[in-house]
Amino acid sequence: MDDILQRIATCIERGKVNATSPYPPDLKGQDGAHELTKAALEMGVSPSDVLAQGLVVGMNSIGRKFSENKVFVPDLLMASKAMQAAMVHLKPFFESGEAKHRGTFIIGTVQGDLHDIGKNLVSMVMEGGGWQVIDLGVDVSTEKFLDALNAHPGSAVGLSALLTTTMVNMEKTVAAVRAQHPDTKIIVGGAPLTAEYAKKIGADAYAPDPQGALDYLVGAVA
């Protein structure tokens, strides 16, 4: 059992989606995240173990390498593709309640900003860390964040911005979330941001990379 979970973790980290996927070349022809996850569940491994000892381990490893600048966006994207292929098999267990998320994370790119690559990377790593992700998309108004928080009370919130002209819109959203849901953990990130900026606008944390967001929340909520 440990072996198959280890292999799932490797497939996630290396971005090996399924047996027919040509990527990465050295794993060509071998089973991928899709086949191995299916097999593990059929063998009777619990969905929670598949998540915690397979998917989470693999995504954590690639997420950490990404934050250490050892791998790049394409590597993270391929890992996420493999994770999605595994997640398909776990979804019914989350729905039935047999498997549980670590928490719920609401994320969106702030109002006026249409960029989604950074936001998507954070979503992927959070999901790979065992969190339920509510992705509100791009150009998200303060009201939409508040609506999502009302629908999913107790969630953490992530705000993304790529432009200096739109990061100023974070401040308003942070203030509104604080006013209505004072205990909400709020993380901000994006190319023009700094820890100093995050602090000044009242966010709980600045995440320089996706793993940073996950690590902060695991520490803050656990």
Name the residues that contact another protein, by CB under 8 A. Answer: 68-75, 77-78, 81, 111-117, 138-139, 163-169, 171, 191-192, 194, 196-197, 200-201
Amino acid letter, 197? Y
Burial class of residue 150 in the structure, from the number of CB atoms within 10 Å of its CB (0-12 exposed, 13-18 middle, 19+ buried): exposed
Shortest distance in whole angstroms from residue 96 CB to another protein: 30
Longest dimension (CA), the chain: 54
Query: What pairing do the DSSP bridges indicate for beta strands 186-189 and 205-206?
Result: parallel
Question: In angstroms, rounded to a whole number, what is the distance separating the alpha carbons of residues 153 and 218?
Answer: 18
How many CA atoms are closer than 13 Å to the CA of 111, on its beta-carbon side? 12
Q: Which is nearer to another protein, 105 or 206 (CB)?
A: 206
In angstroms, what is the minimal distance from the CB of 77 to another protein? 6
Q: How far is the CB of 116 from another protein (least distance, A)?
A: 7
Name the residue nearer to another protein (CB basis): 146 or 218.
146
What distance in Å separates the CA atoms of residue 138 and residue 118, rounded to the nearest whole number?
11
Instruction: Provide the minimum distance between the beta carbon of 180 and another protein in the complex, in angstroms, as a whole number.
Output: 21
Query: In the complex with another protein, which residue's Cβ is closer, 1 or 114?
Result: 114
Q: Which tokens is 35 given?
A: 């086949």
Task: Compare residues 7 and 127 and give the one whose CB is closer to another protein.
Answer: 127
Q: How far is the CB of 47 from another protein (least distance, A)?
A: 27
Which is closer to another protein, CB of 153 or CB of 208? 208
